[in-house]
Amino acid sequence: MVTETLKHREAGLTDEEVKEMYWTMVLARTVDERMWLLNRAGKIPFVISCQGQEGAQAGAAFAFDRTKDYFAPYYRDLCLMLACGHTARTELLAAFGKAEDPNSGGRQMPGHYGDRSRRILTGSSPVSTQIPHAVGMALAARMRNEDAVAYVSFGEGSSNQGDFHEAANFAGVHRLPVIFFCENNKYAISVPERKQLACKDVAERAAGYGFEGVVVDGMDPIEVYRVVKRAVDKARAGGGPTLVEAKTYRLVPHSSDDDDRSYRTREEVAEAKKGDSIVRMKTYLLASGLLTEEENAALVARAKVEVDEATRYAENAPYAAEETLMLHVYAEEGAARGHETVH
Amino acid sequence: MKQYIEAIHDALFEEMGRDERVFVMGEDVGVRGGVFRVTTGLIEQFGESRVIDTPLAESAIVGVAIGAAAAGMVPVAEIQFADFILPAVNQIISEAAKMRYRSNNDWHCPLVIRAPYGGGIHGGLYHSQSMEALFTHVPGLKIATPSTPRDAKGMLLAAIRDPDPVLFFEHKKLYRLVKEDVPEAEEVVPLGKAAVRRQGDDITVISYGYTLHLVLEAAEQLAAEGISTEVLDLRTLRPLDEAAILEAARKTGKVLIVHEDNKICGVGAEVSALIAEQALFDLDAPIRRLAGPEVPAMPFSPTLEKAYMLSTERITAEMRKLAKF
């Protein structure tokens, strides 16, 4: 296990960082599982899940400078959001649709992230629309000679949308500092990869737009980190965009309104679970001597306590007052929060 | 004396000089200076990083502009013809219009989308359309349709300085048709304010864009017959200047609304509904609308194009009928 032990250090991660990465993944899974419980108990109307994709998201998030880079996440990026500074509490507030939710003040369904103070752009439900936005943020950074890179994520299904192709082409022509991060989880709701893509890998599509496309095992967070970090460093140095395709697997249905038993076998899902990035990371940390079974149990317990507290808080938090319905269609006089919080 | 097209050029030139966050992007806007030559000279003055010739991809033009706007820039994106705005509709309606609302005022999108619209220029089906009603339906957007050079400049200044997304529809036929003195000194014409273009006591005609000029000609003719016309230029379609509309309607009690866009669910429908809701008992005649025909778009052949377009004659006849009611 000697070479394995060194893997995170070789990739440029400190021991503390790799443990932080694991903690974020565990917390994301705990939050996610709690949301399903709350949904099945009839307490929250909707869940959209990151389960199976935590490793890819944690690996990618840690490769960015989360104090200055721009993020345009998609609706499964719960783990990325936690890595960017959101908490179990903020995301449970969103799940309950409460006023304090920093993503949208309870205006959007859960999973529609955004937080200006962290340069996380507000997202919508139509897929791929965020891809040109990230390119625009990269363009803005370039125009101001800012040393910032933009992250944008999407699923493999979204890579069929025109906005993906238009945005990739724009970024390629202008060699903009943007990382296209495809979290290929094999299914666009029920439609499997083979019915979505005529090419083998989404990453191949980058070649058509004049930049590099890389495939990475999305269940290996350290490897994702290594690949994305290289792409981010290249972008920061003026080397233009990269498309990173992380091969992952969605372990649960598309959403709380979906039943995946109608389109995939339990055997297939059980097989995929064996490659769960959280299990893999735990095994790695144990083997590296960075974690003991006792420490792991404490960490899992800590996540549960945080999520319990967050659930209690969010459930009791107030909804937005009805009088706020008409607010923020346009800038209210003197009420607009200007550009100052972004740069 | 400035043409409408020069006024738009001047507004862009001055705003880019005033505020370094302002930039223009679109197909052919740079080296070519725009297919209509609106952006002539900008690339020489401000360079290709602020006058961006984009790939041919309307959704990306708007989508990239949204991202840049959110990140603190002030983009003026050009859609070469309004007809081609449809691939960008998802970006405009799902994204730009909702960004402030959906983020609970955390993010916003100070973006201008310029789009030449309208017919009568032998542009056929796909270079003649009026797209304004489609967007006027959407809260979160502002829709500007200036009809004079002075307004074109002043309203574009207001649009660029507006903290929310503005669709700026420029009637192509006006580009080189109308001239007027445009003050050298900065004059910002606020969005959401209609303008009384002619005072009158017998009938009220409400219009915007190219047809406003036909209405003014018709009003001049009718004045010789002793019919006095109040003419209101809407200037902005969202927000509509409701107070000005109601005042103009109440003044004469006889209202005609004229626009080139087709009638069903058009801007005239909203204006007449507003008057019916709030000023019905001040009316002396049913509200009338004169608009483009209910065909999908304007045909190319000169006979059919002429038949599609409103004319001073048709408007005069309609106004005369209303006056005699």
Euclidean distance between CA atoms B197 and A266, whole angstroms: 72
The residue behind tokens 């083997």 is: A287
Report yes or no: B155 and B191 within 8 Å, Cβ to Cβ.
yes
Maximum CA extent, chain A: 63
Per-residue pLDDT for A299 more than 50?
A: yes
Pairing of strands B74-78, B112-117: parallel
- With b for 16 or more beta-carbon neighbours within 10 A and e for fewer, the A149-168 pattern comes to bbbbbbbbbbbbbbbbbbbb
The residue behind tokens 């304010």 is: B193
Euclidean distance between CA atoms A61 and A278, whole angstroms: 16
User: Residues of B with CB below 8 A from A328's CB?
Assistant: 100-101, 104-105
Active site residue A133: no
Closest CA to B316 of B205, B215, B233: B215
At residue B51, what is the residue type? V
E strand spans, chain A:
70-72, 150-155, 178-184, 187-188, 191-192, 212-217, 242-247
State the pLDDT confidence band at A340, using cuts at 50, 70 and 90. very low
Closest CA to A105 of A325, A256, A262: A325
State the pLDDT confidence band at A339, using cuts at 50, 70 and 90. very low
Euclidean distance between CA atoms B309 and B324, whole angstroms: 25
The residue behind tokens 């004469």 is: B252
CB-based contacts of B278, cutoff 8 Å, min separation 6: B242, B246
Which CATH number is A62's domain given?
3.40.50.970
Q: If 0-12 CB within 10 Å is exposed, 13-18 middle and 19+ buried, where does residue A9 land? A: middle
Predicted pLDDT at B275 = 98
Euclidean distance between CA atoms A57 and A78, whole angstroms: 8
Closest CA to A337 of A147, A152, A153, A105: A105
- What's the mean pLDDT when you consider all of chain A? 95
Interface contact flag, A328 B163, Cβ < 8 Å: no
Dihedral sign, CA of B6, B8, B10, B13? negative
A29, A76, A230, A254: which is the annotated catalytic residue? A254
Dihedral sign, CA of B310, B316, B318, B322? positive
Contacts 24+ apart (CB under 8 A), A300-305: A300/A26, A300/A30, A303/A23, A303/A26, A303/A27, A303/A29, A303/A30, A303/A88, A304/A30
Active site residue A165: no
Closest CA to B293 of B255, B256, B273, B264: B264
CB-based contacts of A170, cutoff 8 Å, min separation 6: A132, A135, A176, B54, B55, B57, B60, B64
Interface test with A, best of B46, B56, B64 (most A CBs within 10 A): B64
Per-residue pLDDT for A343 more than 50?
A: no
Predicted pLDDT at A86 = 98
Predicted pLDDT at A333 = 63
Predicted pLDDT at A6 = 85
- C-alpha separations of A291 from A14, A63, A284, A305, B20 in Å: 14, 22, 9, 20, 52
Helix (H/G/I), strand (E/B), else coil: B106: coil
User: Residues of A with CB below 8 A from B103's CB?
Assistant: 103-105, 107, 114, 116, 122
Euclidean distance between CA atoms A313 and B301, whole angstroms: 68
Q: Please tell me the distance in Å from B128's CA to the nearest CA on chain A.
A: 25
Using only C-alpha atoms, what is the Rg of chain A? Answer: 20
Euclidean distance between CA atoms A225 and B155, whole angstroms: 49
A237: in domain? yes
Mean pLDDT of A45-74: 98
Q: What is the pLDDT along chain B (325 residues), one digit of tens a residue?
A: 999 999 999 999 999 999 999 999 999 999 999 999 999 999 999 999 999 999 999 999 999 999 999 999 999 999 999 999 999 999 999 999 999 999 999 999 999 999 999 999 999 999 999 999 999 999 999 999 999 999 999 999 999 999 999 999 999 999 999 999 999 999 999 999 999 999 999 999 999 999 999 999 999 999 999 999 999 999 999 999 999 999 999 999 999 999 999 999 999 999 999 999 999 999 999 999 999 999 999 999 999 999 999 999 999 999 999 999 9
Interface contact flag, A133 B70, Cβ < 8 Å: yes
Euclidean distance between CA atoms A66 and A258, whole angstroms: 33
Active site residue A261: no
A180: in domain? yes
Dihedral sign, CA of A101, A117, A334, B105? negative
A328: in domain? no
Mean pLDDT of A207-226: 98
Interface test with A, best of B79, B102, B142 (most A CBs within 10 A): B102
Complex ipTM, two decimals? 0.96
Q: Please tell me the distance in Å from A261's CA to the nearest CA on chain B.
A: 32
At residue B294, what is the residue type? E
Those of residues 118-177 in A touching chain B at CB distance below 8 A are 121-122, 124-126, 129, 131-144, 150, 162-163, 166-167, 169-170, 173
* Interface A-B: count of C-beta contacts within 8 A: 153
A278: in domain? yes
B108, B122, B127, B213: which is the annotated catalytic residue? B127
Report yes or no: A85 and A56 within 8 Å, Cβ to Cβ.
no
Mean pLDDT of A76-99: 98
A100: in domain? yes
Interface test with A, best of B51, B103, B113 (most A CBs within 10 A): B103
A327: in domain? no
Per-residue pLDDT for A2 more than 80?
A: no
The residue behind tokens 């890998």 is: A201
Report yes or no: A73 and A122 within 8 Å, Cβ to Cβ.
no
What is the token pair recorded at B62?
């708007």
Closest CA to A153 of A245, A278, A252, A250: A245
Q: Which helix (H) or strand (E) holds A288?
A: helix A277-288
A325: in domain? no
Interface contact flag, A133 B50, Cβ < 8 Å: no
At residue B216, what is the residue type? L
The domain total for chain A is 1
Interface contact flag, B102 A108, Cβ < 8 Å: yes
At residue A272, what is the residue type? A
Instruction: Specify the DSSP class assigned to residue A160.
Output: G
Report yes or no: B245 and B271 within 8 Å, Cβ to Cβ.
yes
Predicted pLDDT at A3 = 54
Euclidean distance between CA atoms A316 and A297, whole angstroms: 29
Residue range(s) defining the domain that contains residue A69: 4-317
User: Residues of A with CB below 8 A from B142's CB?
Assistant: 330
- Phi first, then psi: give them for residue B240, nearest 5 degrees: -75, 145
Mean pLDDT of A166-189: 98
- C-alpha separations of B262 from B98, B206, B308 in Å: 27, 15, 10
A338: in domain? no
